[in-house]
A and B are shown apart, each in its own frame.
Chain A
């Protein structure tokens, strides 16, 4: 039997054998048409009945469209197959594996699903949800039949099947390897995606999901960089690279489709923490993921790698950080030379294509506008062990804010200046709730919302957009909150748009056109809450 099979496999595919098979199939088709007519007549549906013609034509030609990678990941990774498709595919694999045709794929259920999906794609059907199930089914059936026909039976189909099966298995292997690499954050993305932005994330950042969505809205892919594991779902963004907390590694950056990179964003550790240690520049590896120096160096390295490929352009960097963090240096030697104090903002400003975004400044600007609108001076409700640190920082930003207004000639002491609550104000204040994390803020609201809002007003400051749903109703429904994640995402995106406007970033025409439409979206660069609509650029510290 084995010899016979081998002998048959070596038979050439001839036009005659194809014709023979087609003739058989044509006869089968004619019989099937007759059978359908009889079955329709059996139900009293005769010639002339419009239902007859409609039923005969009820089908959809296979859509000749390969999957995009997103569709592929969606279908392969996330489909929960219903009982119907489960049965269909189980039987298909039984036929296929029973004949040993696809045994080389060493199938488990997952890899079968990929194979099966590919078999359908191979037969030129589109299995995305919402397409015609009959067309999908019939093309799936074609695949099943072709896989099911024994090699001895039809030399033509055998040859086709063998070639296709080999292609299929190779493709499945490649698909599996690519999928595994993408899931593990180790894929070489150079060949996979077009125009993209990089986001160096660290562990997590409250603005990341909103920012990714904004870029996807205008057709730009996003590659995120995480230290070990990504904290967002692959459904939101499949492309990521693992850095193992080393942000400047060439082997990682070289996989990041640098030629197509439009911009790099860095969410510097604790850069999104509104009132935390803005004057302190100390970093400890135990607690920090990415320092300001690393964010700048990652960008410098990426541009160096780009130049090594003969591309003379710089990928701009937008870093979310606290620009007032001090940069210290000591001289070892005989002298007591002092070279002055620097801060991180100074260092970002040295590089023409590096842009620091300062969350203290933006959120303080919003608080100032809200304070002015409510007519109350501000106070900050926080955790006892953060009180001293936050008070110190808050005082400094109030001071900076008022000074900035003075410099710009906008100071109107009675109206615009941001003022801290004093004893004379009694309980009449805008109480800002900001704990050391969102859960701490929620706890503070639970405990003190009632008494703080009795005479004055309240404003919750939360980091993560996810937490909005956990806010007390009186805060959530009346929108008495600022979401730092939303603010930062909008601010970073606005900076990106500004770089495009300044021609520091050149977009492909199609994306530029999408951006031109998208920028008309209401409140794209502002936030709306109980107190009104506020622009984000009202107050941004310059370094």
Chain B
């Protein structure tokens, strides 16, 4: 028996609907983060933005965004919190 079975055996998700909820949250979060990043870029960043997107490497893209946008981590979390509040209001 491997340790990961012991440690993570209970993590198995069987409810398909729960998966759908998580997947959708994931997609929404990602879309909003991408939008927020675009809104924080200036016209002068467009060329570099296009170049890095063409490389189709999320890691490179993220490095780029983190360098260009000050306090990106704070902004991302602000976005996440906002989304969380919106979800609460609708339920």
Binding site for B on A (CB under 8 A): 15, 18, 20-22, 24-26, 28-29, 32-33, 35-36, 39-40, 42-45, 50-51, 54-55, 58-60, 62, 66-69, 72, 83-84, 87-88, 91-92, 95, 121-124, 130, 132-135, 137-139, 141-142, 144-146, 148-150, 153-154, 156-157, 160, 167, 170-171, 174-175, 178, 191-194
Contacts and interface: CB of A to CB of B under 8 A. Distances in A.
Given A18-B21, A51-B53, A60-B58, A29 B7 contact: no
B62 A29 contact: no
Contact of B58 (A25, A135, A160, A175): A135
Contact of A18 (B6, B17, B46, B86): B17
B73 A123 contact: no
Interface string B8-25: 101101000110111011
A142 B84 contact: no
Given A59-B58, A68-B4, A144-B80, A138 B26 contact: yes
A50 to B, nearest CB: 8
* Chain B interface main SS type: helix
* Chain A interface main SS type: helix
A148 B84 contact: yes
A32 B10 contact: no
A417 to B, nearest CB: 55
B4 A39 contact: no
Interface string B31-49: 1111100110101001001
B73 to A, nearest CB: 4
Contacts of A134: 30, 33, 58, 61-62
A149 B88 contact: yes
Contacts of B27: 29, 32, 138
Given A58-B53, A67-B8, A88-B76, A24 B90 contact: yes
Q: Which of A42, A43, A60, A144 has the most CB of B within 10 A?
A: A43
Contacts of A124: 13
Contact of A24 (B8, B35, B87): B87
Nearest to A87: B73
Going nearest first, the 3 A-B pairs with the smallest beta carbon separation are A32-B31, A39-B38, A69-B3
Contacts of A194: 2
Contacts of A15: 17
Interface string B69-91: 00011101100110110111011
